[in-house]
Amino acid sequence: MKKALFTTFLAVVVIAAVLIYRAGATFEDRQLEPAAGLTTVAIDESLAIERFAGALRIPTVSFDDRSNFDAAAFRDFKSFLEASYPLVDSRAQLTVINDYSLVYHLPGSDPSLKPVLFMGHMDVVPIEEITRSEWSYPPFGGTVADGIIWGRGSVDDKFTVIALMEAMEQLLSENIQPERSIYLAFGHDEEVGGKDGAAKVAEYFEQKGITFDYVMDEGGAVLEGMMEGLDRPVAIIGVSEKGYVNLVLTVKAPGGHSSQPPRQTAVGILSRAIVAVEDSPFPARLDYIYPTFEALGAEMPFSNRLAMANLWLLSPLVKSVMLKNKDDAPGIRTTTAATMVSGSPKSNILPTRATAVINFRILPGDSVESVTNRVIELIDDERVTVTAEYGVNPSPVSPTDSRGFELIAQTIRGMDDSILVAPYMVRGGTDAKYFYSVSPNVYRFMMLRIDPTTIGYLHGIDEHVAAEDYLEAIRFYYHLIHLSISNRKSL
């Protein structure tokens, strides 16, 4: 008995020693060297801020109901860009795609080099009318007060579009001659899926046989105080994004008067199907969050390193902790959200038809097809038909050892070497998903500092940005574009 106890004790000590050893030895510092010698950029700050405010005054809103599309606003926005950025307007070739999306091309001197593509979207989400009075400044007023720029689109995503235009105008004013071609592409319907804008822009490049060294879109940001146990800011660069599908569940039944019901109505059958799907969530997988931890590993607190370095033993524990956190859970599984149901139009009429919509955000590794098949299996009831309404597969994963990723990471750290850089998977969708056909290297990042208080403004009330942050983004694009359009392989 004593001997068995001792053996158990010894085993525990050995395992603990292995866990601790691995926590210390697994993660090395993977942060890239900051780009050296980034010069100060002589921006006319007040002019740049005024132009940004002007862009926010044009209500380029995307509505779910396409009949509300305001063509005049998008034409005004194009005219605004032409008038505000005369050097880009005169030196870059502008191609209008599908009436409203804009593609600028500044040719490089060396056609053997693959061009780079910087993207953003001109459209913004609408204002909920009942919240209009809650805005501190009018949502389309473009107000600048106490160093803050207010308005819908000040973050998502005129921030990107206008900062890119400012950076290009500045580079052209300094007579920069690109060796590598650069394209800017601005979509007009990202907020409603990007099918008329970015998808058509990607098709245009495919048809012309243009492929890119790398593609850069909105997506990640610089997180401050948002990663537990990390004091330093973390720039997360999106290297992949989840897919999306709406599955429509339909049950048909004979109907009749509710005074003579069958044992189960269409609504009852449908409800059981929804419960069956909800009761078997998709399995959790750590593959797509691990690279983020790996990049930050050396900087993470010991407890995190202990867990992430020992997934061979602790992955069930890590998964169960993450699944309990509503911010972490979507990063490790395909999510299930029943969102819409309908049945009979009247309380005393038996439904002849009941429908439900379940929305899934699909983790790479799963697909629209695999999710649909799993749901059919879970429901296991021939009375319920399952059809995929709108589906987009998860994106491929872009590499972190490409010239593009390294330039982005090194430029970020060249501007502020306290920032740590890590790849991550975007949980929502961006226009970038359409561009894997023209480059394997597709990244999503904006040089914008976000903390727990600012995150709520996105798509919400009082969207705003600090003028300082906007100016930092212009400088970031200036440096990144400058480095990208030279013919150097890496820094």
| Residues labelled catalytic | 123, 190
Of the residues 38, 97, 100, 156, which one makes contact with Zn ion according to CB under 5 A: 156
**CA distances to 60, 236, 294, 336, 423 from 232, in Å:** 36, 12, 16, 33, 16
Judged by CB, which is closer to Zn ion: 218, or 469? 218
- Closest separation in Å from C-beta 157 to Zn ion: 4
23 near 302, Cβ under 8 Å? yes
Among 157, 189, 299, 366, binds Zn ion (CB under 5 A): 157
Nearest distance from C-beta of residue 362 to Zn ion, angstroms = 20
| Host H or E run for residue 388 | strand 384-392
**Closest distance to Zn ion from the beta carbon of 396 (Å):** 20
**How many residues sit in the footprint of Zn ion (CB under 5 A)?**
3
Other Cβ atoms closer than 10 A to 17: 10
Residues contacting residue 425 through CB under 8 Å, at least 6 positions apart = 238, 239, 240, 241, 242, 288, 289, 331, 364, 397
- Cβ proximity to Zn ion: between 243 and 351 the closer is 243
Nearer to Zn ion, 295 or 447 (CB): 447
Q: Go through 115-137 and write b for each residue having 16 or more CB atoms within 10 A of its CB, e for each that does not.
A: bbbbbbbbbbbebeeeeeeebeb
Instruction: Return the number of the residue (413 or 444) whose C-beta is nearest Zn ion.
Output: 444
Distance, CA of 408 to CA of 247 (rounded, Å): 37
Compose the 300-339 pattern: x for residues touching Zn ion by CB under 5 A, - for all others: ----------------------------------------
Nearer to Zn ion, 284 or 432 (CB): 432
Smallest distance from Zn ion to CB 439, Å: 20
> Distance (Å, rounded) from C-alpha 186 to C-alpha 190?
9
In the complex with Zn ion, the residue whose CB is nearer, 157 or 366, is 157
Residues 216-275 that bind Zn ion (CB under 5 A): 218
Q: Which stretch binds Zn ion (CB under 5 A): 17-25, 212-220, 356-364, 463-471?
A: 212-220
To the nearest 5 percent, what fractions of the chain are helix, strand and coil? Answer: 40, 25, 40
Least spacing, CB of residue 219 vs Zn ion, in Å: 8
| N-terminal to C-terminal alpha carbon distance within the chain | 64
CA distance linking residue 345 with residue 157, whole number of Å: 41
- Binding segment for Zn ion (CB under 5 A), chosen from 34-42, 157-165, 285-293, 372-380, is 157-165
Task: Write down the least CB distance from residue 125 to Zn ion, Å.
Answer: 9
Binding mask 116-155 for Zn ion (x = CB under 5 A): ----------------------------------------
- Residue 309: phi and psi, rounded to 5, are -80, -10
Question: Which ranges in 195-242 belong to alpha helices (H)?
Answer: 198-208
Q: Is 189 in the site for Zn ion (CB under 5 A)?
A: no
Return the SS3 of 288. Answer: coil
Question: Under the rule (CB under 5 A), what is the footprint of Zn ion?
Answer: 156-157, 218
